[in-house]
Chain A
Amino acid sequence: MEALSPTMEEGRVVKWHKRDGDPVKTGETLAEVETDKAVMDLVARADGVLRQVAAAEGQTVAVGSVVAVIVSPGEAVGAVPAAAAPATPSGSGKREAGNVATVTAPAPVAVTPLPVAAAAEATRVKASPLARRMAKEAGVDLKLVTGSGPGGRVVKKDLERAPSPGASAAPTATAGATFPVSRVPFPERTGAAYDDVPLTQIRKTIAKRLAASLGPIPHFFLTTEVDMERASEAREALNKQLGDQGGGKVSFNDIIIKATAHALTKHPACNAWFQEDHIRYWHEVHIGMAVAVEDGLITPVIRNAERKSLADIGREAKELAERARSRRLQPSEYTGSTFSVSNLGMFDIDQFTAVINPPEAGIIAVGSIVQKPVVVDGQLTPRRRMRITMSCDHRVIDGATGAAFLKTLKQMLENPLAMLL
């Protein structure tokens, strides 16, 4: 049973449109399901034959439990692992399967129920219902938008300039909802700016358990130390050349942004938004760059950083930061980022952890570059070193996924030429 509305917890099967053994095509209506709000269509997420119809008409079924299985023609229905699915009234306890062949056994997630403490809404944002819907769709944090309505209420007008990255292209839900996502080619464009991949049961369970255990976003942190010798040398050479051409200088932060964007193209699983009932994997990299302003913090966005040259990033970052400090950023310039970078190196901070900027799934916290004694080829040598810490949203990024991304990032910073590959 799919969640057919954001708040749906269970659905009553009103009528089956397909019967056991009927051939079905992706997108075809399988059944009408009554949710908490309306009667909606439950559609096939894969081509095949409908089998094992487990929910009778009139029966109420919890979201996430199996109502039927779609198999390839002639394929026997395998024993589908039950662990990740909640108990269901039908007692079948089987996973919804887009395509049985792609179902993988759920990872052994600790499923001991935890008392779910509803996270108190941080601060109430005054916004019109229409503005809320638009913000949700665009991934805009309403807390960052200045409202022009009565009493500072955020209204449509305030959001109209906010970005709608996928506005021209309909979000494409990947048929079958198959994991792992690394199958999604990157950065090859499919037309849409992103794919919305419905949460699998294991993802839903991970999301629920972890969120209940550690605040609204289950953070975990990965730290590594990067040798910045080559990056420093490259920067000096580059700035000399840029200086000769009369251009602006490139900062370490620019190099880190560029390397992060590049590394994200290799690890699309980290370039994603958590969207409650699905994860949005972006085909574009928009890097949010944390900038301290007089009474707070704002993250202007370098759009499509993966496609921009270091010099372009440098110019844009400088310009955005200046306008951020003078409070002249448009909402569209500080919303819609897919990943963020926060740098406290200039404050001599060795290492820190940054808080994820939702709905993003990760952020890199950058410490200062310090000369340290390091053993290289058996020799004690002074090297410029920098610690970076990645905060990951565990609902989207698992330990190994985050670590693999961080390793790539480290390699790129240690050998900046790799970015040219």
Chain B
Amino acid sequence: MANVYDVIILGGGPAGYVGAIRSAQLGMSTALIEKEKLGGVCVNIGCIPTKALLHSAYIASLLREAKEFGVEAGTVKTDYGVAMQRSRKVSDQNSKGVEYLMKKNKVTVVKGAGVLQPGRKVKVGNDTYEAKKAVLIATGSRVKGLPQIGLEINKTTVISSDEALFLEKAPASMAIIGAGAVGMEFANIFHAFGTKVTLIEALPRILPLEDVEASDALAKSYKKRGIDVIAGAKVKKGTPGKDKVTLEVEAGGATQKIEVATVLMAAGRAVNTENIGLAECGVQVTDRGFIKVDQNLQTSAPGYYAIGDVAGPPMLAHKGMREGVTVAELVAGKKPHAIRYDNVPSVTYCHPEVASIGLTEDQCKERKIDYVAGRFPFSANGRARGTGETEGFVKILRDKKYGEILGAHIVGGHASEIIHELTVARENEYTVEEVELAIHAHPTMSEAVAQAALDSLGRVVDM
């Protein structure tokens, strides 16, 4: 009976470990089952190491422009292997940090692959763990290839982010298939490390989920620095050779052959729902493969909840973390505030960064919302001029009648940090006027937010 806990969580990624901490905080005995390192994709092969590499890329580009700022850096040499080693250290530190947090909160960590059993049980090897209150499924997702066109991930010439994060050297050339956040970030990283990058997106524009203006700004920025951007392109066939891959790409009515040393697959992720005993427990999945959940994130099997990527899009660490907290509170008998899925920020950490919240302008049009767009370019922002980060803008879409902030889109340095002002505003239903009324320190990039709010009201000051 030693293996009985109030809550058992399957998967130690962001949704799982945060859910475990909240569960333990609420006085419930908690076990967390993880087959690999704590922290999941995010900490080990996702968010965290890519941010480390992006910073290396940023330093490289900064040094290349240093002369303009009165700093001579000589010839800038880059070494992807060194940057990679540093990113591994950062990941390992973070994973150890999660281990520490589990200890601190007295969460039992079970190493191994867990399989769900009926009766709120989880089997790990020969041991069976039983949950008195709930089992939380947080098994996450993984990268996927496109075997149907010959691009199965072979880990040498056709790789995913999993391999890209461990390369010792930046390849001479690389085609990245998929220009969502992952594709955009790796294009930025490898380009900075000297790789000739071709970015291929099937949808008509890169960053297809972002506002058109954000996509356009990034396409322009990438092309300007020498990254080939091909959008609205269909990869018809991929032929991996020993040390190269030939791609047949159809775009704009013409088919072209592209030969690269490496193909990085960044076109979507698959959820980890296989071999964890879902069917045996009566946990159903949706047509798209996610675990079917109700509004309390409970699955079709009572007592089994799903959180994080397996529970459905958006597949973002911060969305999963919130779900972990919410479900832990529900299980503890609390009444947590409903998760606002329409207020989950989306961030791409390429340079310039892209961050958004809420609706895009096209979505406002589709929904026939009477809106006004307010814009402010960083080229008119004093702080941005000082640092030379004049690319990009803040765009705020406000409801015409009540001033509700329908959506906000930021392209520019530190966009990932600046967006939260608008996230907080939306969470609390502040209108553009409350945002504008809050005094913004001068000079800051954030002033552009206030100015965009003013612009939506027809009274921008600094432009």
Contacts and interface: CB of A to CB of B under 8 A. Distances in A.
Size range of the interface on A? 10 to 19
B431 A133 contact: yes
Interface in B391-443: 401-404, 428-431, 433-434
A166 to B, nearest CB: 12
Contacts of B428: 128-129
Contacts of B337: 149-150
Contacts of A105: none
Interface string A371-397: 000000000000000000000000000
Given A150-B337, A156-B429, A130 B403 contact: yes
A131 B430 CA distance: 9
B404 A156 contact: yes
A38 B433 CA distance: 12
B146 interface: no
B459 A155 contact: no
A128 B425 CA distance: 10
Interface in B326-383: 337
Main secondary structure of the interface of A (DSSP, over half): helix
Contacts of B316: none
A39 B401 contact: no
Contacts of A137: 401-402
A133 B434 CA distance: 12
B339 to A, nearest CB: 13
A155 B402 CA distance: 13
Nearest to A39: B459
B281 interface: no
Given A137-B401, A137-B402, A156-B404, A130 B429 contact: yes
B457 interface: yes
A156 B431 CA distance: 11
Contacts, number: 30
A38 B457 contact: yes
Interface in A115-169: 128-131, 133-134, 137, 149-150, 155-156
A130 B430 CA distance: 6
Contacts of A156: 404, 429
A38 B458 CA distance: 10
A38 B431 contact: no
A128 B430 contact: yes
Interface in A88-102: none
A137 B402 CA distance: 9
Nearest to A38: B459
Nearest to A167: B401
Contacts of B434: 129
A137 B434 CA distance: 18
B402 A130 contact: yes
Contact of A134 (B402, B430, B457, B459): B402
Contacts of A129: 428-431, 433-434
A130 B457 contact: no
Nearest to B404: A130
Contacts of B401: 137
A128 B434 CA distance: 11
A156 B340 CA distance: 13
B329 to A, nearest CB: 13
B459 A133 contact: no
A150 B459 CA distance: 33
Contacts of B431: 129-130, 133
Nearest to A131: B429
Contacts of A134: 402
B33 to A, nearest CB: 33
A135 to B, nearest CB: 10
Nearest to A154: B429
A47 B401 CA distance: 28
A118 to B, nearest CB: 22
A128 B459 contact: no
Nearest to B399: A130
A159 to B, nearest CB: 10
Nearest to B457: A38
Nearest to B429: A128
B141 to A, nearest CB: 31
Nearest to A155: B429
B437 to A, nearest CB: 10
A315 to B, nearest CB: 35
B90 to A, nearest CB: 35
Interface in B218-262: none
A332 to B, nearest CB: 17
Contacts of A130: 402-404, 429-431
B402 A133 contact: yes
Contacts of B429: 128-131, 155-156
Contacts of A155: 429
B39 to A, nearest CB: 30
Contacts of B430: 128-130
Nearest to B403: A133
B204 to A, nearest CB: 33
Contacts of B404: 130, 156
A134 B402 CA distance: 7
Contacts of B402: 130, 133-134, 137
B369 to A, nearest CB: 13
Nearest to B426: A130
Contacts of A39: 459
Contacts of B433: 129
A206 to B, nearest CB: 31
A128 B343 CA distance: 16
Contacts of B457: 38
Nearest to B434: A129
Contacts of A38: 457, 459
A150 B429 CA distance: 12
A39 B458 CA distance: 10
Interface in B45-87: none
A137 B404 CA distance: 14
A5 B429 CA distance: 22
B16 to A, nearest CB: 26
Nearest to A156: B429
Interface string B276-302: 000000000000000000000000000
A146 to B, nearest CB: 15
Interface in A261-307: none
Which of A38, A130, A150, A156 has the most B CB atoms < 10 Å from its CB? A130
A40 to B, nearest CB: 10
A15 to B, nearest CB: 15
Nearest to A128: B429
B436 to A, nearest CB: 10
A153 to B, nearest CB: 9
A380 B96 CA distance: 100
A107 B457 CA distance: 40
A271 to B, nearest CB: 25
Nearest to B338: A148
A149 B335 CA distance: 12
Nearest to A151: B337
B362 to A, nearest CB: 22
Contacts of B403: 130, 133
A341 to B, nearest CB: 32
Contacts of A128: 428-430
A244 B402 CA distance: 52
B319 to A, nearest CB: 19
12 contacts: A128-B429, A128-B430, A129-B431, A129-B434, A130-B429, A131-B429, A133-B403, A133-B431, A134-B402, A137-B402, A149-B337, A150-B337
The 4 lowest CB-CB distance pairs between A and B, nearest first, are A128-B429, A130-B429, A133-B402, A130-B404
Given A128-B428, A130-B429, A133-B402, 9 more contacts: A38-B459, A39-B459, A128-B429, A129-B434, A130-B403, A130-B430, A131-B429, A137-B401, A137-B402
